[in-house]
Chain A
Amino acid sequence: MNFDPRFSGRKFASVGTRPIRPDGIDKVTGRARYGADFNMAGQLVGRVLRSPHAHARIVKIDTSKAEKLAGVKAVITAADLPDLTDGDAAMYDVLDNCMARTKALYDGHAVAAVAAIDARTARQALKLIEVEYELLPHVTDVDEAAKHTAPLINDAIFTEGLEEKPVKPSNVTKRSQFGHGDVHQGFGQADFIVERSFKTEQTHQGYIEPHACVANFSSDGTADLWVCTQGHFVYRQHCAQLLGMEASKLRVTSSEIGGGFGGKTHVWAEPVALALSRKAGRPVKLVMTRDEVFRASGPTSATSIDVKIGARKDGTITAAEATLRYSCGPYAGSWAEIGAMTAFACYKLDNVKTVGYEVLVNRPKTAAYRAPSAPMAAFAVESAVDELAKKIGMDPVDFRIKNAAQEGTRSSYGPVYGPIGIGPTLEAVKSHPHMKAPLGKNQGRGMACGFWFNFGGQTCTDLNIGMDGSVSLAVGTVDVGGSRASLSLVAAEELGIDYSQVKAIVADTSSLGYNDMTDGSRGTFSSSMATISAARNAILILRERAAQMWDIAVDDVVWEKGHAIAKGEKHGNLGKLSLKEIAVESGKTGGPIAGHSELVADGAGVSFATHICDIEVDPDTGAARVIRYTVVQDAGKAVHPTYVEGQYQGGAAQGIGWALNEEYIYGKDGRLQNAGFLDYRIPVCSDLPMIDTQILEIPNPNHPYGVRGVGETSIVPPLAAIANAVSNAAGVRMTHIPMSPPRILAAIEAEREWSK
């Protein structure tokens, strides 16, 4: 297959328009089927028993009473999910997280599960399972856990990445380092230095749809799984591996998804549901409650970050350094590493050094959350950058423009940038009317920049042309943000037909080759590349069929605006053949017409954004209200601008919640205190202003249309932009996220005391 992915600078007919999404009507009328909307005859209700303890050895589990309860069809423990991971440490962690094997490692860790004829029976059965625990000391705070004196979560872990192999086990699983130049020398050249420490609390993605699946294990050893996921092919691999199945024997269908944001990239309930179904011999539906989602899915890291930045009087940054500690939950991760890579990615730096430490804590296993790890690093760095600009006496936008990375800049994490959007977003912000909007009493303005890598990955797509000339597009990347609409636009663009003639679906794992998950902002980037490739393959066949109908050489047939055209003077009397006219004849000219594509979508262009935020603080209560918010971000090419704007607004909305109120609150007993939306405060509609957006289009040279991923970058700047705005409004630098009213009020009161 000779597919040329390079940017071609074409004029668009469909791409860039804003048609209604194919899944829209069913979603607003309630007809769309999400994870919990699937049902099968004879289906049982699955429920999970969870540890109430933060850290405890499981001495004994007695399930005999539960098994005897009428209506209970299966009870499982770790014994029903034997270890088949064969030395794969990461998969062993997944297995242990799905069902605790020897120790419960956090409040909410699954220890047993039941399948019963109804929810009431299942609940009763859980109460009849007797678990004997031996309580162990626990630690939930990232800084406490990193200390030598902290209770050990896993005594087989020795810190990786140190110069000398440590002799004692530690909760710090890994040290990683990035950068170049000599920061010591760089700070020596600085006229001004800002050095500060920051903390961010753990947050959850807060998707509205809880995890849900229906598993149906047949007695012939094959199984079906209907599930709400960001990546059904990955779920198939993981579930098959954990249950000892061949991947092709497990067919996974992804439901509509009510939000994922990275949180639906990991299996938790699915292997349990399959194991219950296998044991019970009946389909099992397992739906998490909201309490379970908070306690036992995958929130993001809590962090503790030290930043030091130095600059000359003229505003040139001479050195930048950061030490980042990220909580991973009880299993090893690479979250601080990603934070360390992204921290200074916006800037052109001669001397930069970042060090990340991965820290185990007795909290649920950290999962990805939209540009995972980057928002916290950006919060710390962009807060310090703002403070440094103030110290120098420079406008914060000008200071950033002066130091912004450009094409050819060696990034702080290694690679040299191609064409990038950080400079243009800053210039756009500088001239944005928001920057001139008047500020009232107790109001402050802040801005900040953000970066995300984006990802491409393995992609497989089928494009089938029906005999009536309509087109069905089967993709393998789950549609979390309107990608079916965008990919239909791309197919229409390539084929030269109308958007309404294309219908896109997300195919199940048995109908299409492997696809990576919808993560890394790759859904539209990678699947549009595969769709373009598939459409071009289909066009080749369309040209062949037209050539056959005309009885001329295929090289004499070109494809233009949805038609085959015979080129050259000798064919001047032949009319055009439309896609439909060719399709109608396909039964006589060689059968169905289709285009297939499988590829690795390399070259996902990096993405930058700059946000502006205005905040009003009530100095007597510490309440902060967002009064104005603007997102400026590079999209490469916005395939469907409405859904690009939706991604921009969504990232900002989640960032606002994270910055101001959202946090996991643990008691001294290591139990989560606020496992529900009442006390885990995501913003409600009235908490948010209209979030204004501006799309910049700096083409990605590695995509035919110039597309870059857009989903994640939008959550990177908000924590910092809001912190800068709150700090300006309240007159005191905020260093702890969330900036909840008690924290803001305490900071204001401390400042009042200090200035007395």
Chain B
Amino acid sequence: MRYIRPLSIEDAVGQLAGSAGAAAILAGGSDLLVRMKGGFAEPELIVDIKAIDGLSEIRETAEGFSIGAAVPCAVLGENIALKKAWPGVVEAAKLIGSKQVQGRCTIVGNLCNASPAADSVPALVAAGARASVVGPAGRRTIPVQSVPTAPGKTSLAKGEIIEAILLDKREPRSGDAYLRFIPRTEMDIAVVSAGVNLTLDEHGVVKSARVALGAVAATVLLVEEAAEVLVGSRLDEATLERLAKVCAGACRPIDDKRGTIEFRRKVAGVLAQRAATSAYARAGGK
């Protein structure tokens, strides 16, 4: 096994593209090291990206925020501007693992691990986040929901690295929220999760919405019918009831050790309601 710590993204891309055997990117290592220890991954090359210039920064730009691939989730919680603009994304990142894990793990790692139960992904999908990808063929920007294609699989080509997650600048009267269901209070993996992102008009009516569900299909689901239910409403009881129904119907869950199909459908609806209510309040809705 070879471990390298390149100083530039180009070098990292080159090393990954040129590797003969299995290669892995190391940021926080909270997934990779566990997999290696368990004997599930035996990479021949490990590319540590933490020394690459700029990858450990959150930058606030005219367009919004750029969160580097090596930024630990704990740091997201310390960025006041980001927390104010995207509280749902930050609360999702701050639910991963434990305090100790959050000091290491990253949202890009969470995305590329491609687990349907990843905590930060539904929040990012609801937020309309994009991933900036660097590869042998240059740079491209893609929506985050197009990165995971199946459990453990991504659309990234050999040699490609996500260097940053991009979040838009916030319109006024916007709010997002993320909730997950776990049987414990922490140190757990989502059985079902929901991210909701809303923008209201000046009358408190939902102008635009995005609803994403986690752990109810092979990848995180962006539920457009659920967004349609919310748009034009003030989140009255009937709307919330319809939201729950649409979300339950959109799920394609499985029975497994973490929950049953019925449980996931029902709770997906409940969490969507609760996340929508929270996002609505954050957007200033009453």
Contact = CB atoms under 8 A, between A and B. Distances in A.
17 contacts: A620-B266, A620-B267, A621-B181, A622-B263, A665-B257, A673-B257, A674-B257, A678-B188, A678-B189, A679-B257, A681-B183, A686-B185, A686-B186, A740-B183, A742-B260, A742-B262, A746-B263
Nearest to A126: B39
Nearest to A683: B184
A291 B34 CA distance: 13
B269 to A, nearest CB: 9
Nearest to A663: B257
Nearest to A624: B183
A749 B191 CA distance: 19
Contacts of B258: 679
B270 interface: yes
B142 interface: no
A686 B95 CA distance: 14
B259 interface: yes
B187 interface: yes
Contacts of A679: 189, 257-258
Interface string A609-629: 000000000001111010000
B267 A621 contact: yes
Contacts of A661: 183-184
Interface residues of B, number: 22
A434 interface: no
Contacts of A740: 183
Given A745-B266, A745-B267, A123 B39 contact: yes
Nearest to A657: B184
A673 B257 CA distance: 7
A71 interface: no
Contacts of A741: 181, 183, 191, 259, 263, 267
A659 interface: no
Interface string B171-183: 0000000000101
A681 B257 contact: no
A291 B40 CA distance: 13
Contacts of B183: 623, 660-661, 681, 740-741
Interface in A713-754: 740-742, 745-746, 749
Nearest to B98: A684
Given A661-B183, A673-B257, A745-B263, 19 more contacts: A123-B39, A621-B271, A623-B183, A660-B183, A679-B258, A681-B184, A683-B184, A684-B186, A686-B186, A687-B184, A687-B185, A740-B183, A741-B183, A741-B259, A741-B263, A741-B267, A742-B260, A742-B262, A745-B267
Contact of A621 (B256, B262, B270): B270
A746 B261 CA distance: 11
Contact of B266 (A123, A660, A749): A749
B39 to A, nearest CB: 7
B125 to A, nearest CB: 22
Nearest to B258: A679
Interface centre among B181, B183, B184 (most CB of A within 10 A): B183
Nearest to A625: B185
Contacts of B259: 741-742
A660 B183 CA distance: 9
Contacts of A683: 184
A684 B185 contact: yes
Nearest to A620: B270
A673 B254 CA distance: 15
Given A620-B270, A621-B270, A665-B257, A742 B263 contact: yes
Interface string A648-665: 000000000000110001
B41 to A, nearest CB: 13
B165 to A, nearest CB: 25
Interface in A662-684: 665, 673-674, 678-679, 681, 683-684
Nearest first, the 6 A-B pairs at minimum CB distance are A742-B263, A686-B185, A620-B270, A673-B257, A665-B257, A742-B260
B56 to A, nearest CB: 28
A296 B234 CA distance: 56
Contacts of B270: 620-621
Nearest to B260: A742
A665 B256 CA distance: 9
A661 to B, nearest CB: 5
Interface centre among B191, B260, B263 (most CB of A within 10 A): B263
Interface centre among B184, B191, B267 (most CB of A within 10 A): B184
Contacts of B191: 741
A742 B266 CA distance: 10
A425 B270 CA distance: 42
A684 B188 CA distance: 10
A674 B183 CA distance: 14
Contacts of A686: 184-186
A746 B262 contact: yes
A622 B262 CA distance: 12
A267 to B, nearest CB: 26
A327 B111 CA distance: 42
Interface in B237-286: 256-260, 262-263, 266-267, 270-271
A622 B259 CA distance: 12
Interface centre among A123, A686, A742 (most CB of B within 10 A): A742
A623 B39 CA distance: 34
Contacts of B257: 665, 673-674, 679
Contacts of A660: 183
A732 to B, nearest CB: 16
B94 to A, nearest CB: 14
Interface in A435-474: none
A687 B181 CA distance: 14
A684 B185 CA distance: 8
